[in-house]
């Protein structure tokens, strides 16, 4: 292989821009975990581009990536916008932070999945600016502490622009004027499903502003609205919202009340867990509201050998099970993803658990 031809991890390009330019369009670009400092805005002049983040750098199948475990961070360094597209693009599995003039400027068609937007700013649309006549879909994503000098702290929707937001969570975004979460310009259309809008702050219309726009919200938790048949307005009970951990606590009213039909094509949540679980243990499987699916942690989850702790021994046993090596010490009730097997999902869970324990002990 020629070094830098992008055909293997060993010969990968040195920058995301270089990979985009070499792709010629109609291509998937896999981006390894890391903190990528942006010195110029990515402006791909190609069509049908798909960007995937969340790889450790050894995968041969994109289904093995895990953006939660292997974050791929795009950092505007408070100097530039990170990304601007004029053609159709899919962006899946990235964290965008510290951008100015919006993290993403969509002037065409964009699908944004499994992304985190934090500490981005702009005059309008701190995280995403959906320009006039553009089409945007956002799924399984978080908008935390983005801000605008005028309108749309997290998202600005231009004239005749359209946006679909499915299973996303917005909190602590701010705008100096209107729509701290979303500002919808006259003539635009917004559809918000299975999403949480809570404690965003603007001079008026804190969650979203939509005068002259067509908006539809269903099966969502929106602060300040009048609750109805499918929508609620009550504390979502995020785990640690002040540090951006928007996973749900056991008492959250957002568990098992979403529209499962809206996620027929969405198999996993932002953590990579199964999207539809029985989070309130009523034997009915229904999607949660927000970017994360609440998962009941069973007594033996991840504890493959029932030792009472989740440790490296469990990891070895899970990896053995992955390679179909049998062991009498494997207990199936340690299953993580409720598929009745011990394997890769359990291995990833154990690695995360062990690392979290190591970090906690080192503090």
Q: Is residue 4, in this structure, part of any structural domain at all?
A: no
324 and 247 in a common domain: no
Q: Is residue 11, in this structure, part of any structural domain at all?
A: no
Using the predicted structure, report yes or no on whether residue 3 has a pLDDT greater than 60. Answer: no
pLDDT for position 292: 97
323 and 256 in a common domain: no
The average pLDDT across 279-301 equals 84
Kindly report the pTM of this predicted structure: 0.83
pLDDT for position 358: 78
> What is the rounded distance in angstroms from the CA atom of residue 20 to the CA atom of residue 193?
32
Q: Is residue 96, in this structure, part of any structural domain at all?
A: yes
Q: Tell me: the pLDDT tens digits for 294-340?
A: 987 666 678 888 888 888 888 888 888 877 665 556 777 677 876 76
What is the chain's alpha carbon radius of gyration, rounded to the nearest angstrom?
Answer: 21
Q: Which residue has the higher pLDDT, 331 or 53?
A: 53
> Cβ atoms within 10 A of the Cβ of 33, count?
19
105 and 48 in a common domain: yes
Q: Is residue 74, in this structure, part of any structural domain at all?
A: yes
Q: Is residue 5, in this structure, part of any structural domain at all?
A: no
> Percentage of the chain surpassing pLDDT 90?
72
Give the β-pairing of 245-248 and 238-240: antiparallel
153 and 59 in a common domain: yes
338 and 236 in a common domain: no
131 and 196 in a common domain: yes
144 and 26 in a common domain: yes
Q: Tell me: the pLDDT tens digits for 121-163?
A: 999 999 999 999 999 999 999 999 999 999 999 999 999 999 9
Using the predicted structure, report yes or no on whether residue 286 has a pLDDT greater than 90. Answer: yes
pLDDT for position 81: 98
Q: How confident is the model at residue 1 (pLDDT cuts 50, 70, 90)?
A: very low
Range of the domain at 153: 16-263
> Cβ atoms within 10 A of the Cβ of 255, count?
26
Q: How confident is the model at residue 2 (pLDDT cuts 50, 70, 90)?
A: very low
Using the predicted structure, report yes or no on whether residue 354 has a pLDDT greater than 90. Answer: no
Tokens of 8: 């293997």
Q: Which residue has the higher pLDDT, 43 or 301?
A: 43
Using the predicted structure, report yes or no on whether residue 195 has a pLDDT greater than 80. Answer: yes
332 and 209 in a common domain: no
Residues 6 or more apart whose CB falls under 8 angstroms from that of 161 comprise 130, 131, 132, 133, 134, 135, 136, 185, 188, 189
323 and 177 in a common domain: no
323 and 259 in a common domain: no
Q: Is residue 136, in this structure, part of any structural domain at all?
A: yes
Using the predicted structure, report yes or no on whether residue 86 has a pLDDT greater than 90. Answer: yes
Q: Strand order in 95-97's β-sheet?
A: 34-37, 72-75, 95-97, 116-118, 142-144, 169-171, 196-198, 221-222
pLDDT for position 363: 57
Residues 6 or more apart whose CB falls under 8 angstroms from that of 324 comprise none
pLDDT for position 311: 87
> What is the rounded distance in angstroms from the CA atom of residue 154 to the CA atom of residue 148?
8
The span from the first CA to the last CA of the chain, in angstroms, equals: 44
Tokens of 188: 């635009």
pLDDT for position 328: 59
Q: Is residue 289, in this structure, part of any structural domain at all?
A: no
Tokens of 312: 């490296």
Q: Is residue 279, in this structure, part of any structural domain at all?
A: no
325 and 222 in a common domain: no
351 and 214 in a common domain: no
Q: What is the mean pLDDT of the chain?
A: 91
Per DSSP, the residues of 299-338 read: TTTT-TT-SSS--HHHHHHHHHHHTT---TT--GGG-SSS
The average pLDDT across 7-20 equals 92
Count the domains in the chain. 2
């Amino acid at each position: 292989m020629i070094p830098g031809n992008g055909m293997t991890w060993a010969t990968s390009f040195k920058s995301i821009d270089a990979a985009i330019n070499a792709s010629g369009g109609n291509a998937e670009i896999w981006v390894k975990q890391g903190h990528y400092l942006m010195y110029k805005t990515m402006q791909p002049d190609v069509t049908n581009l798909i960007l995937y983040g969340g790889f450790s750098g050894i995968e041969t199948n994109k289904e093995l990536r895990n953006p939660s475990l292997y974050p791929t961070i795009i950092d505007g360094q408070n100097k530039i916008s990170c990304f601007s597209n004029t053609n159709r693009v899919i962006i899946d599995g990235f964290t965008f932070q510290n951008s100015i003039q919006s993290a993403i400027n969509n002037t065409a068609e964009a699908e944004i999945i499994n992304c985190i937007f934090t500490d981005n700013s702009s005059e309008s649309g701190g995280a995403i600016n959906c320009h006039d006549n553009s089409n945007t879909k956002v799924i399984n994503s978080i908008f935390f502490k983005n801000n605008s000098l005028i309108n749309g702290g997290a998202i600005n929707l231009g004239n005749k622009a359209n946006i679909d937001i499915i299973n996303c969570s917005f909190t602590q975004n701010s705008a100096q004027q209107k729509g701290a979460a979303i500002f919808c310009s006259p003539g635009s259309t917004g559809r918000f499903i299975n999403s949480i809008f809570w404690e965003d702050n603007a001079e008026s219309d804190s969650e979203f502003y939509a005068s002259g726009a067509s908006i539809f919200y269903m099966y969502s938790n929106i602060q300040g609205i009048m609750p109805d048949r499918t929508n609620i307005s009550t504390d979502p009970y995020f785990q640690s919202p002040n540090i951006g951990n928007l996973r749900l606590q056991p008492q959250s009213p957002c568990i098992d009340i979403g529209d499962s039909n809206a996620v027929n094509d969405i198999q996993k949540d932002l953590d990579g867990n199964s999207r539809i679980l029985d989070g309130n243990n009523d034997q009915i499987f229904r999607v949660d509201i927000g970017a994360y699916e609440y998962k009941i942690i069973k007594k033996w989850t991840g504890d493959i050998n029932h030792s009472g702790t989740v440790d490296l021994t469990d990891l070895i046993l899970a990896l053995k099970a992955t390679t179909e090596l049998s062991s009498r010490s494997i207990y199936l009730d340690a299953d993580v993803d409720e598929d009745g097997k011990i394997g890769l999902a359990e291995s990833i869970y154990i690695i995360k658990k062990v690392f979290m324990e190591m970090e906690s002990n080192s503090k």
